């Protein structure tokens, strides 16, 4: 199901960084040291925004990713 709060997301298993782009703000954040299992659960969640709020948002360190271009997919 498409999310109304998350426009897209990407995961790098080598660095364990989950990148998330938000619809409302247009901002892009990187969540650090996210296990592949957490990404897989997020990816398969029916309600991405709800899963993100309950399992990602306050559980992993994050940083703004302003000025960084996505390497794996274009807009």
Does residue 26 fall inside a structural domain? yes
Does residue 71 fall inside a structural domain? no
The model's pTM: 0.82
| pLDDT at site 40 | 97
Does residue 17 fall inside a structural domain? yes
Does residue 39 fall inside a structural domain? yes
**Spatial distance between the Cα atoms of 30 and 75, rounded to a whole number of angstroms:** 17
Does residue 1 fall inside a structural domain? no
Does residue 41 fall inside a structural domain? yes
**Closest to 43 measured CA to CA, from 66, 22, 67, 19:** 19
Number of domains in the chain: 1
- Percentage of residues in the chain with pLDDT exceeding 90? 77
Residues 37 and 55 sit within 8 Å (Cβ to Cβ): no
| Phi, psi (degrees; rounded to nearest 5) at 15 | -100, -10
Does residue 46 fall inside a structural domain? yes
Residues 32 and 16 sit within 8 Å (Cβ to Cβ): yes
Across the chain, what does the average pLDDT equal? 88
DSSP character for 67?
A: T
Does residue 72 fall inside a structural domain? no
Range of the domain at 47: 6-64
**Spatial distance between the Cα atoms of 53 and 60, rounded to a whole number of angstroms:** 11
| pLDDT at site 4 | 82
pLDDT digits (tens, 9 = 90+) for 25-59: 989 999 999 999 999 999 999 999 999 999 999 99
């Amino acid at each position: 199901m498409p999310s109304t709060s998350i426009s897209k997301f990407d995961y790098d298993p080598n660095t364990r960084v989950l990148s998330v782009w938000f619809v409302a703000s247009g901002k892009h954040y990187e969540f650090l040291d996210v296990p592949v299992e957490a990404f897989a659960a997020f990816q398969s969640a029916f309600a991405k925004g709800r899963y993100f709020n309950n399992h990602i948002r306050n559980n992993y360190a994050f940083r703004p990713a302003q000025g960084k271009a996505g390497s794996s997919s274009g807009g």
